[in-house]
Structure 1
Amino acid sequence: MKIRTNQQWLWAVPVSLAALVMAGCQERPAPQKEQVKVEKQEASSTIPLIQAKVVSVKLSKPEACDAEGCTQYEIQTVKSNLKWVDDYFIDRVKKADPIAFSTTPNEKINTAEGASPNLSQSSTYIRFVSQQYDRATFAIQTYTYSSGAAHGMYHQEFVNFDLKNKKRLALQDIMVKGVEQQLLNTLYDSNSIWLEQHSIEREKLKLSDNFYYGANGIVFVYPLYELASYAEGMTELTLSYSALTKLIKAEYLPALPKYPSS
C-alpha cells in the first residue's frame, strides 16, 4: 500500500506542473487603460493622411473655337488617395468649363483677311493645401484672359472638407447658430485699421464663404475689386482662433493651449 501511494503521488506531480504551465501560458486581459489607448488609435486610423499630387486633365478641346475666336484651356487637378475628393474636383471643372470637355467640332472663325483670330486663355489649377486631423483644405486657382482685355483676371477659392463625414464645409456648417452679426463685428474690429484705411465702413463688410485655416486663425478671402484695387490683389482678413471660441463650433476649431489662471 505504501509503494502504491508513492506511485500515485509521483504521477500527480507532472499533472500539477502541466496545470501550472497551462495557467501561465494563458493570455492575460489587457489593463483597461491600454484597451482605451488601443481604441483611440483605431479611431484615429479611420481618418486618412492625405497624399495628393497635381495631374493634368485630358481635354476633348484644349482649344475651343467659335465664330468670334478661340479659347485655349489648361486644367490641372489633384489625384489623391481619396476618390470622393478627386471626383468632387473633376465634377467642378467639368461644370465650370463644359466646352473644354465637349466633343462638338469647332466652328469656323470669321476674321478679316490677314487679321489674326482672337485668342483667349482659361486655366484652372487645383492643389492640396493642408490637413488638420479630420479637416483638409484645397485651393482652386483660376485665371482667364479675354482677347483684347487690358489684363487677365484671377481668383483663388479655398475648399474645406470634413473627412470624417465626407462633405465640403461651408461657413454655415462650422459657425454657431445665430452669431452671424457677432462674427462680422468681431472680424471688422480685428481688421479695423486696414478696413478704415480703405474706406470700408462696418455696414459694407460682408462675411465671405471663401475661407481657410491659417496658422493663427481663420482667414476670410475676398475677390478682386471687392475691398481693394486690382493691384492689391485678393483681400485676406484674419480672425484669431482665440476670438472664435464662442463663434465657431468646437469640433471645427484647433485645440488651444490652456494657461493657468493667475
Structure 2
Amino acid sequence: MQRYFLISENGNPSFLITGIEYKIFPDLGFNPVPVSILVILIKILLMRITHAGFLFITGFILYGCNNPKNTGEAPVVVDTIVKVTEPVVNIPLTDSGNFYKRMVGTVAGKPVVLNLQRAGHQFSGIYYFTQVGSFIELGPASPENKKAGDSIVLEEFTSEKFDNRNEQPSLPGKWIFTYAGHAIEGVWVDAHGNRYPLALREQYDLTSYTFNVLSYSDSARLFPGHKNSSQAHTREDFVIPAGNYSAGTWLNTEIMKMLDDTYKSTMALSYDSLINRIHHSFFTDYHEQGKNLDEKEAESLTYMNYDLEQNIKIYWNDKSYLVLSHFGYSYAGGAHGNYGATFYCYNVAEKKRMRLSDITSADTLLLQKLLEENFKKRAGLKPNEKLNTILFDNFLKPNKNFYFSGNELIFSYQPYEIAAYVYGQIDIGIPFTDLKGYLNPIFQKRMGLP
C-alpha cells in the first residue's frame, strides 16, 4: 500500500494514506532506528513527486516496528509539522462505490468508533461509545424517515423483539449526516428526539486493518420462458482484506469458509468463482424443487420466490483483534424465512480464530449464572421470575457463538435456539467487571482492561 504523506499530531506520530489518517501510539513498542540520510531524502523526494505542492517537509524521523506481526512489514514513518487536509467533496448517493471505513470521532461530545460499510447505494454500520463499549447497529431508515435532503439517514436497530417491561417503548435513534469521502458530519437524534452533533474521520492505527466490500446479486426464473414466473434471488455483501498486510491471505480464506462451509483453502478459488459456485448450487436446487410444478400456475406460486442472502460485517477492528458477523437469510418456502448471525473472533496478529479460553477461564457454571442474571436485567424480569417466561427453558447456558466489545463478553443465540422465532436473535452480554479474576491475562492486557 502506497504511503503518500505523513504528519504528527499532539506529539504522537501518525501518517496519512490518500487522506486517511493512521495513528501510531508510542506505547505499542515503536523505537527509532538509525538510517541513511540519503534513504530518507529519496523517500521524501518520492512523496513530493507523488503529491507535488502538497507537502512542505520541515523535519523527519524514521521509525521501525519491533512487532511486525501487526502489519507484515516494518512501517516507514516520517514526521512533519504540516497537516494536509483534502478538499471536502460530498459524494452523491447515486455513486455505487463499495467501501469499508473505520471512523473515529465524537457523538454528543463523547468519543465513538464507527465501522461504516457501503454496498451499492446502501449504508450500514456498527458503532460504540468507547467509554461504554456496547455495540449499536445502524441500518437503512424506515421509509417515513429516510429523506433528509442530501443527507444520509441511518437508524439504530436490534434483531431482538422482547422489550424491557420496566421501560416505556422508545423510537430508534438516528444518524443524519453528510458523507465527504473520509469524514462524516451531522447530528445524532437519540431515542427521545434530542439532537446532538456528530463528527468522525476515517482513522486506523497499526493494530487495525483496512478492508473493502464486495457485492454480488443474481436471479433465476422458475420457468425461464414466463416473464411473471416465480424467481429465486441471491445477494452477498461482505468485507475482504485490502492493503498489504501479512494476514490478508489468511483472512480471505476465513471469509470464504464463512460464505461456503464446504470451501477448502486447497481449492484456491477467486471470490467470483466462489460466488458462482454458491449461486449455481442454489439455482440448481431451486429448479429441482420446482421441476414437477405446472407452468400454467406460474403467477400464483408465490411460495416459490426463494431468497438466499449473506453479509459479513465488522464489529471490532482494534488492538490486532477482529470481530466479524456473518449474517445469513434464506427462504425456501414455508411461513417465513430463516436467519441468524454467527460471530467470528480473530487474533489477527497470530492468524488464528479465538477460542473462549482466549478471553476467559470462567467455567460453564459461572458463565451460566452470569448469563441468567444479565438476561433478566435485559428483559426486565424480576430476580424471582422464571426465565421460561420468555425462553424455552428455565436456564441459559453459554454457547459457542460468542464475541466481545470493549467492556463485555457477549453470547448470541439465533432464532429458535433458546426462544420462539418472534423474539429474534438474542444477544446477552457479561460485563468484564463480572469476570474479574477470570480474564485471560494476554487478552486483558491487550484490551487495556483493569
What's the TM-score bracket when you normalise by the shorter of the two chains?
Answer: 0.5 to 0.7
Residue 292 of structure 2 is aligned with which of 73, 98, 110? 110
Higher strand share: 2
Secondary structure of 2:308's aligned partner: strand
CA distance in 2, matches of 1:121, 1:104: 10
Cα pair 1:74 1:123 within 8 Å, conserved: yes
User: Could you tell me which amino acid in structure 1 is paired with residue 349 of structure 2?
Assistant: K
Match of residue 76 from structure 1: 237
Residue 326 of structure 2 is aligned to residue 140 of structure 1: yes
The superposition leaves residues 6-30 of structure 1 with CA deviations (integer Å, 9 ceiling, x where unpaired) of xxxxxxxxxxxxxxxxxxxxxxxxx
Taking structure 1 as the reference length, the TM-score comes to 0.68
User: Could you tell me which amino acid in structure 2 is paired with residue 38 of structure 1?
Assistant: N
The superposition leaves residues 147-185 of structure 1 with CA deviations (integer Å, 9 ceiling, x where unpaired) of 2x2222211111110112101113244332x72222222
Q: RMSD of the TM alignment (CA)?
A: 3.4
CA distance in 1, matches of 2:221, 2:348: 37
**Mapping for residues 151-170 of structure 1, pairs under 5 Å:** 151-170=336-355
- 1:99: how far off? 4.7
Residue 46 of structure 1 is aligned with which of 62, 65, 69? 69
Residue 360 of structure 2 is aligned to residue 175 of structure 1: yes
- 1:142: how far off? 0.8
The superposition leaves residues 59-82 of structure 1 with CA deviations (integer Å, 9 ceiling, x where unpaired) of 8xx54979xx86432222222132
Residue 326 of structure 2 is aligned to residue 121 of structure 1: no
**Mapping for residues 1-262 of structure 1, pairs under 5 Å:** 38=31, 42-44=65-67, 46-48=69-71, 49-57=208-216, 63=220, 71-81=232-242, 82-95=248-261, 99-102=278-281, 109-116=291-298, 118-147=304-333, 149-176=334-361, 179-193=363-377, 194=379, 196=385, 198-199=387-388, 204-253=395-444, 254-257=447-450
User: Could you tell me which amino acid in structure 2 is paired with residue 174 of structure 1?
Assistant: I
CA distance in 2, matches of 1:217, 1:205: 17
- 1:237: how far off? 0.9
- Pick the structure with greater CA Rg: 1
Cα pair 1:64 1:72 within 8 Å, conserved: no
Unaligned runs of at least 5 residues, structure 1 = 1-35, 258-262
Taking structure 2 as the reference length, the TM-score comes to 0.42
CA distance in 2, matches of 1:65, 1:88: 33
Cα pair 1:76 1:125 within 8 Å, conserved: yes
Q: 1:119 to 1:104 in 2, by over 3 A?
A: closer
Secondary structure of 1:50's aligned partner: coil
Q: 1:248 to 1:93 in 2, by over 3 A?
A: same
CA distance in 1, matches of 2:295, 2:393: 55
Cα pair 1:158 1:211 within 8 Å, conserved: yes
User: Could you tell me which amino acid in structure 2 is paired with residue 208 of structure 1?
Assistant: N
- 1:214: how far off? 2.4
Cα pair 1:64 1:100 within 8 Å, conserved: no
User: Could you tell me which amino acid in structure 2 is paired with residue 246 of structure 1?
Assistant: G
Q: 1:104 to 1:112 in 2, by over 3 A?
A: closer
CA distance in 2, matches of 1:88, 1:65: 33
Count of residue correspondences:
216
- 1:247: how far off? 2.5
CA distance in 1, matches of 2:353, 2:342: 13
Q: 1:103 to 1:159 in 2, by over 3 A?
A: closer
Secondary structure of 1:83's aligned partner: helix
Q: 1:203 to 1:231 in 2, by over 3 A?
A: closer
Q: 1:64 to 1:246 in 2, by over 3 A?
A: farther
Cα pair 1:77 1:90 within 8 Å, conserved: no
CA distance in 1, matches of 2:310, 2:432: 31
Q: 1:133 to 1:153 in 2, by over 3 A?
A: same
CA distance in 2, matches of 1:128, 1:179: 28
Secondary structure of 1:218's aligned partner: strand
CA distance in 1, matches of 2:348, 2:436: 22
Q: 1:146 to 1:242 in 2, by over 3 A?
A: same
Q: 1:217 to 1:183 in 2, by over 3 A?
A: same
